[in-house]
Chains A and B, each alone.
Chain A
Amino acid sequence: MTVHCGDHQDRFSAWFDGELDAPEAWELDAHLRGCADCTAAWRRFQTSAEWLRSGLRQTAAAAPDPRYAVELARRLEHSRRPAARWRLLAPMAAAALLLAACGLFIWLQGRKQPPGAPAWTIAGNLETWRPETGRWENASALSSGAAVRAGDTPVRLQSEAGLVTLHEHASAVWQYQPDGRRSTWVLADGAMEIRNADHDLVIDVADTGIRFQADSAGTFVIRTHLAGEPGNRATPPAASPADELLTTVTNGDLRMRWNGRQFMLRAGDVLRLDPQPLHPAVKQRIDREIAELPAEYENFCATLVRNRQRQTLDTGIVSVQTATLAIPDATLSGDAAQCYRAASLAGVYPRLRQITARYAGVPQAQAELDRLVAIDAPVQDPAILDVWRDRLTQADAAAPDSPYRDRYAIALALAGDSEGVTWLKRRVGRENPESAVLANGGYVLAALGEPAGKTALRTLPARIQSRWQTMLAAPATTTAVSEHIHSMWNEKTGEITMYFSFDDPLQPLRDDVHSLAKAAAGLRRDHDDSGLRSLAKSLPVLYDAALRSQTAGETATFQLERIQPAPTGTATQDPIAARETSETPPPVEITHAGEERRPGEEDWDEAELNSPEFAARVLVLEALDCLKRAASRPEPRDPRAWENPPSMADIRRQAYEFRALDRDAFLDRVTADAAQCLSGGQR
């Protein structure tokens, strides 16, 4: 035990309450993973704190005394009586006023409800289920404002607001407004079921911040809590996370507000929280992949090593599943960074700080989380802005060429912080034309209405200029800056390149293209040339889909000459094959209606740049560029020859990080690899 350990243990409470800043939480988490003493101390502290919390909350769940309101009303009337000082000065007058006040009080009392039944209280009948008799028994009156808690058997409340059943060990507070025909439940724990209510219902789920509203209801079941969240329960729920958040509506419409988003459910709907709108084609693919997942997963390890596209799709599925459930669960995903990203996009950032401990054992997670959380976290949090400012300062001081520092500046700028804007303005003027800082920063500045942004964009190469200009010219982009920031892995540099979505109508398609490009890079890394060719042939399909979706029946008037593979695919038309058989890469040109456009030739043609066809072509060009860069990568063609052990080791490491390989399998294979390398690299 060292003083350092004591410092960490002093932060247990804040960590337990989710009050630690992300950097502090990560630091503590990292320390716990390396310190057995502190880990044991944390477990003892957590057990004790959960016991205390549970005890205090259960003890505090007391029903209010109905006489309380009556007594308060009486005191309120008395408080309107004259002050003592005045009575001292004029006792007689005070006595007279006292009498008058008493008279007024009596008169007011006469207008009130009888004692014990104030105007805001109404009773329902509370019953307890007795399994030994198979009946509901022990009916007792329940006043509005009362707390109800079920023991080992359910309890139910019958009132004119409906029939409400609290499941075992559930607790709730009931408030009822007969005049407003409105019944409010604050569900603190467990599950409740509501039937036959003809009043408006508001169910406030205390710990999750989820609020349900229903105009009227036949039957629906509400469950509380996000599974596994520390501090919510002494005992984790037995049900799966999905069950915890699913709400079934069998009759009546249900309005729900969750994290600032509104939902309307109709009878028969099943609620799934899915805050990320997906492109239909992507969603269809993911649904199909989810259905196939169990069978696929058995061979996932081998699939991953052979085919990185599989990995891409799988992590995509995990992201969507995670976002859908709004429960980042590392055991489900095996990909902590994706979980964090999905959860962050789902708007559940505060929980991230509480679940950091779950990601122990994922070596790459910390670095990824650092970046992703900084990028995706809600920008309204002043604490996060402070973190970003610190990171920007540190990055500037420690690594002037860091590819990540512009992210913090951009994130700050998008959050309306002047420091970020100033940094970008200063920086974009000094970047070279190929710089991502120049492109991203210029784009953000331009979208924010800063003249420096457009000036910066004009210094970019023509092809990049076109893309940014197209996006800026879209109607939605000039009015609001979207908070969506997409991180894309650049297969050439190994870094993640940021793209910003300003409600770009082509964004779903853009995502698909980049997914393909990423998959292509993986295939190339795995030396799967046939896979690369298949992928390249799929691009025209994507391109056609873009046209169909964007031109609404208009006939395409252009073709991607010389770079678009023919539908049947020949060796000379295949861009990958062409790259391999020729020293000169296929020309990257954008043609429109037979005209050629040369880079830097002229200023932008607004009409052309605004056309969806042009944007679609840019997308395909980007994908083809990725393919060509992958194809030109100087890597060994046959991994079995073991000419490049680090490459294979890298694949193994990634397989382990994505949990496709468990720890033992990973160590076994690495050991075997090392032995084979030492024996001459023969397999």
Chain B
Amino acid sequence: MASHADDATVQRFAVDPRAGLADLVRTYQVSAVRYCQQLVGSAEDAEDVSQRGFLRVYDSGVRFESAEHFRAYFFRVLTHLCYDELRKRKRVRQIVTQAMPEEAEFHSAAAPPDRQAIGGELDALLQSALRSLSESERAVLHLREVERLSYRRISESLGITASEAGVMIHRARVKIQARIQPFLDEE
């Protein structure tokens, strides 16, 4: 698919990181937040983690050659930050021994009003199905379906092989199919 940002944006960042960061944020803000939200659940945490991702890129000093290069690097950074966030939560939960309130929040804050009104049931079904997946399965599914990355790019973003990415995507789809098939059969 076409990149959401052209190479010029990334090259501008390479020449002048301070000024170029604004372009990067404008281009990738939505992608970053929704990806992080898919992994960590909470919209607030997703914003926080994605902003840390931008800062990490800014501080890294990496000069990206192309938008594709940037996307692979950026999503890898975001993935690591999200996993860190989840690990931190687990530690906190062990101490406080309370359930994660975010578990019910997947995407609910991001859903447009018309979708909330028309497709509330579908959304609930989708969110329920997504919750049945592991973090890594949600990550590959999101990178494939929403960010439309190829298996190769997904593998670069997650530090796995392309075939592993394919297996994880298939496994995630099969799990979700098992949950929604009765609903689709009714339709």
Interface residues of A (CB under 8 A from B): 10, 12-14, 17, 19, 44-45, 47-49, 51-53, 55-65, 68-69, 71-72, 75-76, 79, 118-121, 144-145, 147, 149, 151, 173, 175, 186, 202, 204-211
Q: Would you call B173 and A120 a contact (CB within 8 A)?
A: no
In this complex, what residue of B is CB-closest to A186? B4
Q: Kindly list chain B residues whose C-beta atoms are within 8 Å of the C-beta of A55.
A: 122-123, 126
Q: Would you call A75 and B22 a contact (CB within 8 A)?
A: no
A524 to B181, CA, bound (A): 58
Q: Would you call B114 and A151 a contact (CB within 8 A)?
A: yes
Q: Kindly list chain B residues whose C-beta atoms are within 8 Å of the C-beta of A202.
A: 6
Instruction: Check A56/B55 contact, CB under 8 A, given A47-B184, A48-B177, A62-B112.
Output: no
Enumerate the 6 nearest inter-chain pairs by beta-carbon distance, A residue then B residue, closest first.
A13-B170, A62-B110, A48-B177, A120-B22, A55-B126, A145-B26
Q: Would you call B22 and A62 a contact (CB within 8 A)?
A: no
In the complex, B54 has a CB within 8 A of chain A:
yes
Q: Would you call B169 and A68 a contact (CB within 8 A)?
A: no
Q: Would you call A13 and B25 a contact (CB within 8 A)?
A: no
Q: Kindly list chain A residues whose C-beta atoms are within 8 Å of the C-beta of B142.
A: 56
Interface residues of B (CB under 8 A from A): 1-2, 4, 6, 21-23, 25-27, 29-30, 33-34, 47, 51, 54-55, 58-59, 107, 110-112, 114-115, 122-123, 126, 129, 141-142, 144-146, 148, 150-151, 166, 169-170, 173-174, 176-177, 180-181, 184
A202 to B22, CA, bound (A): 19
Instruction: Check A45/B173 contact, CB under 8 A, given A14-B166, A62-B111.
Output: yes
- A-B contact list, 30 entries, CB within 8 Å: A13-B173, A44-B181, A51-B180, A52-B126, A52-B141, A52-B173, A55-B122, A55-B123, A57-B145, A58-B115, A60-B34, A62-B30, A62-B34, A63-B30, A63-B112, A65-B47, A68-B33, A68-B51, A71-B51, A72-B54, A76-B21, A79-B59, A118-B22, A120-B25, A144-B26, A145-B26, A173-B4, A204-B2, A207-B1, A207-B2
Task: List 17 additional contacts besides A17-B144, A147-B30; criterion CB under 8 Å.
Answer: A10-B170, A19-B166, A44-B177, A45-B173, A45-B174, A48-B176, A49-B177, A56-B142, A59-B123, A72-B51, A72-B55, A119-B22, A120-B23, A120-B25, A120-B26, A206-B148, A207-B1
State how many angstroms separate the Cβ of A234 from the closest Cβ of chain B.
12
Q: Kindly list chain B residues whose C-beta atoms are within 8 Å of the C-beta of A51.
A: 180, 184
Q: Would you call B2 and A206 a contact (CB within 8 A)?
A: yes
Instruction: Check A209/B170 contact, CB under 8 A, given A59-B111, A120-B22, A151-B114.
Output: no
Q: Kindly list chain A residues whose C-beta atoms are within 8 Å of the C-beta of B173.
A: 12-13, 45, 48-49, 52
Q: Kindly list chain B residues whose C-beta atoms are within 8 Å of the C-beta of A14.
A: 151, 166, 170
A210 to B26, CA, bound (A): 22
In this complex, what residue of B is CB-closest to A49? B173
A538 to B170, CA, bound (A): 59
A205 to B184, CA, bound (A): 30
Q: Kindly list chain A residues whose C-beta atoms are within 8 Å of the C-beta of B25.
A: 68-69, 72, 120
In this complex, what residue of A is CB-closest to B185? A44
Q: Kindly list chain B residues whose C-beta atoms are within 8 Å of the C-beta of A209.
A: 1-2
Interface residues of A: mostly helix, strand, loop or mixed? mixed
Which of A44, A56, A119 is within 8 Å of B145, CB to CB?
A56
State how many angstroms separate the Cβ of A307 from the closest Cβ of chain B.
46
A151 to B117, CA, bound (A): 12
A585 to B93, CA, bound (A): 95
Instruction: Check A205/B22 contact, CB under 8 A, given A51-B180, A55-B126, A64-B30.
Output: no
Which of A62, A144, A206 is within 8 Å of B1, CB to CB?
A206
In this complex, what residue of A is CB-closest to B152? A19
State how many angstroms separate the Cβ of B162 from the closest Cβ of chain A.
8
Q: Would you call B150 and A19 a contact (CB within 8 A)?
A: yes
Q: Would you call A145 and B30 a contact (CB within 8 A)?
A: yes
Instruction: Check A52/B176 contact, CB under 8 A, given A14-B170, A59-B115, A72-B54.
Output: yes
State how many angstroms separate the Cβ of A41 from the closest Cβ of chain B.
10
Q: Kindly list chain B residues whose C-beta atoms are within 8 Å of the C-beta of A53.
A: 145
State how many angstroms separate the Cβ of B118 from the closest Cβ of chain A.
9
Instruction: Check A186/B2 contact, CB under 8 A, given A19-B151, A45-B177.
Output: yes
A209 to B6, CA, bound (A): 12
Which of A68, A147, A175, A207 is within 8 Å of B27, CB to CB?
A175
A252 to B8, CA, bound (A): 25
A149 to B114, CA, bound (A): 10
In this complex, what residue of B is CB-closest to A147? B30
Q: Kindly list chain B residues whose C-beta atoms are within 8 Å of the C-beta of A144.
A: 26
Instruction: Check A13/B29 contact, CB under 8 A, given A55-B126, A59-B107.
Output: no
Q: Would you call A211 and B2 a contact (CB within 8 A)?
A: yes
In this complex, what residue of B is CB-closest to A120? B22
In this complex, what residue of A is CB-closest to B171? A13
Q: Would you call A205 and B2 a contact (CB within 8 A)?
A: yes
In this complex, what residue of B is CB-closest to A53? B145
A72 to B24, CA, bound (A): 12
Q: Would you call A56 and B146 a contact (CB within 8 A)?
A: yes
Q: Kindly list chain B residues whose C-beta atoms are within 8 Å of the C-beta of A149.
A: 112
State how many angstroms separate the Cβ of A425 from the closest Cβ of chain B.
34
Q: Kindly list chain A residues whose C-beta atoms are within 8 Å of the C-beta of B47.
A: 65, 68, 71
Which of A17, A44, A59, A68 is within 8 Å of B151, CB to CB?
A17
A14 to B173, CA, bound (A): 11
Q: Kindly list chain A residues whose C-beta atoms are within 8 Å of the C-beta of B112.
A: 61-63, 149
B27, B123, B173: most-surrounded residue (chain A CB, <10 A)? B173
Q: Would you call A56 and B170 a contact (CB within 8 A)?
A: no
A402 to B51, CA, bound (A): 61
Q: Kindly list chain A residues whose C-beta atoms are within 8 Å of the C-beta of B29.
A: 64, 68-69, 145
Q: Kindly list chain A residues whose C-beta atoms are within 8 Å of the C-beta of B122.
A: 55
Q: Kindly list chain A residues whose C-beta atoms are within 8 Å of the C-beta of B33.
A: 62, 64, 68
Instruction: Check A17/B26 contact, CB under 8 A, given A60-B110, A68-B33, A149-B112.
Output: no
Q: Would you call A75 and B151 a contact (CB within 8 A)?
A: no
A72 to B25, CA, bound (A): 9
State how many angstroms separate the Cβ of A413 from the closest Cβ of chain B.
27
Q: Would you call A17 and B169 a contact (CB within 8 A)?
A: yes
A51 to B187, CA, bound (A): 12
State how many angstroms separate the Cβ of A673 from the closest Cβ of chain B.
46
Q: Kindly list chain B residues whose C-beta atoms are within 8 Å of the C-beta of A71.
A: 47, 51
A72 to B23, CA, bound (A): 13
State how many angstroms separate the Cβ of B135 from the closest Cβ of chain A.
16
State how many angstroms separate the Cβ of A229 from the closest Cβ of chain B.
12
Q: Kindly list chain A residues whose C-beta atoms are within 8 Å of the C-beta of B174.
A: 45
Instruction: Check A79/B55 contact, CB under 8 A, given A62-B110, A68-B33.
Output: yes
State how many angstroms separate the Cβ of B154 from the closest Cβ of chain A.
10
Q: Kindly list chain B residues whose C-beta atoms are within 8 Å of the C-beta of A79.
A: 55, 59
A186 to B26, CA, bound (A): 13
Q: Kindly list chain B residues whose C-beta atoms are within 8 Å of the C-beta of A211.
A: 2
A309 to B123, CA, bound (A): 57
State how many angstroms separate the Cβ of A73 from the closest Cβ of chain B.
9
Q: Kindly list chain B residues whose C-beta atoms are within 8 Å of the C-beta of A10.
A: 170
Instruction: Check A76/B55 contact, CB under 8 A, given A56-B141, A57-B146.
Output: yes
Q: Kindly list chain A residues whose C-beta atoms are within 8 Å of the C-beta of B151.
A: 14, 17, 19
State how many angstroms separate the Cβ of A15 from the closest Cβ of chain B.
10
Q: Would you call A13 and B166 a contact (CB within 8 A)?
A: yes
Q: Would you call A12 and B27 a contact (CB within 8 A)?
A: no
State how many angstroms separate the Cβ of B71 from the closest Cβ of chain A.
14
